[in-house]
């Protein structure tokens, strides 16, 4: 009799498991919800604007975020216009703030970026960040005051060309999401957003669920990457090759984040088309997991 009871209990347990499967990620390969990122300077083939736009079309991308180096400044306006002609959206443009920039006195390169966006008639997000060591000699209070002042100014400059400022977690004090939230909350009328990158967050893995909850009201975009704990490197890894990215995506989905998602081409030593293809293949492999 006891044996029959045990068998019945096990049967009931198995039925309950089958009726309550493990939650799955809702992430789906909808190219309208994905954009390419780190594809301009990160390309061993050094594609021209025409070749880059053609590559994006062939891969099925409908949008990309534009990063640059000095050599790309002269062709920036032309590329923005070319993208528009080919129905490719430029959903963001990179802006790098360093010690040579100050309120009211941006470097010539940064002024050129903003002027190019204006000349092309591009309404987009301006993703800005600082060098990792920019705030290292400041207290938290001094860092916050400095960042709030600069980002408030940048928001005003961006609004003049119908754009908005997104804060990019590149590293250091400014790379911590909690500090980005403090900045956003200090100037709510300016409405700066947060761009969160998996590949700059290996050291934050254990705190990720709490960070996501804090960021959510300001989160504009998430750039994906294969993720392992810091000691297990490398920093840049194909999606699907790490142990943590599926968990991180699920945390974001559970918090209500639905995209957009960035697909990285962040490899200096490789053809960016192959890197993007590898990440798209990896993304496909984790669908529904």
Q: Identify the helix (H) or strand (E) that includes residue 84.
A: helix 76-85
* Terminal-residue alpha carbon distance, the chain: 41
Beta bridge partners of 197: 223
Q: 54 and 39 in contact (C-beta within 8 Å)?
A: no
List pLDDT tens digits, range 163-219: 999 999 999 999 999 999 999 999 999 999 999 999 999 999 999 999 999 999 999
Rounded mean pLDDT for each run of 10 residues along the chain, 289 residues in total: 47 46 59 95 97 98 98 98 98 98 97 98 98 96 98 98 98 97 98 97 96 98 96 88 96 96 94 97 86
Q: CA 140: distance to chain centroid? A: 25
Confidence (pLDDT) at 6: 43
CA distance 269 to 44: 6
Confidence (pLDDT) at 230: 87
Count of C-beta atoms within a 10 Å radius of residue 197:
23
CA atoms 125, 99, 143, 212: torsion sign:
positive
Place of tokens 């300077």: 41
CA distance 19 to 34: 33
Confidence (pLDDT) at 13: 42
Q: 90 and 63 in contact (C-beta within 8 Å)?
A: yes
Confidence (pLDDT) at 28: 62
CA distance 225 to 211: 18
What class is the 26-285 domain?
A: alpha beta
**CA torsion angle for 114, 117, 123, 126 (degrees, to 10)?**
-40
């Amino acid at each position: 009799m006891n044996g029959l009871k045990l068998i019945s209990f096990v049967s009931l347990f198995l039925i309950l498991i089958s009726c309550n499967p493990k939650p799955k990620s809702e992430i789906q390969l909808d190219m309208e919800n994905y954009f390419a990122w780190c594809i301009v300077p990160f390309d061993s083939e050094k594609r021209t604007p025409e070749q880059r736009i053609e590559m994006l079309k062939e891969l099925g991308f409908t949008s990309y975020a534009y990063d640059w180096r000095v050599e790309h400044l002269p062709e920036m306006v032309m590329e923005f216009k070319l993208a528009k002609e080919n129905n490719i959206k430029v959903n963001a443009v990179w802006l790098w703030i360093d010690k040579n920039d100050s309120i009211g006195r941006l470097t010539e390169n940064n002024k050129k970026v903003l002027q190019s966006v204006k000349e092309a008639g591009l309404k987009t997000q301006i993703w800005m960040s600082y060098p990792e060591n920019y705030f290292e000699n400041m207290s938290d209070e001094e860092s916050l005051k400095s960042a709030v002042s600069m980002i408030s100014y940048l928001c005003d400059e961006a609004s003049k060309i119908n754009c908005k400022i997104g804060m990019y977690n590149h590293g250091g004090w400014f790379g911590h999401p909690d500090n980005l939230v403090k900045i956003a909350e200090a100037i709510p009328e300016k409405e700066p957003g947060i761009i969160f990158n998996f590949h700059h967050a290996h050291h934050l893995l254990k705190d990720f669920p709490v960070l996501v909850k804090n960021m959510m009201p300001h989160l504009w975009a998430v750039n994906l990457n294969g993720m392992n704990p810091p000691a297990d490197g490398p920093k840049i890894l194909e999606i699907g090759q790490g142990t943590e990215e599926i968990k991180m995506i699920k945390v974001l989905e559970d918090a209500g984040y639905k995209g957009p998602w960035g697909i990285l081409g962040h490899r200096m030593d490789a053809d960016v088309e192959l890197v993007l293809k590898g990440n798209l293949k990896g993304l496909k492999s984790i669908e529904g997991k």
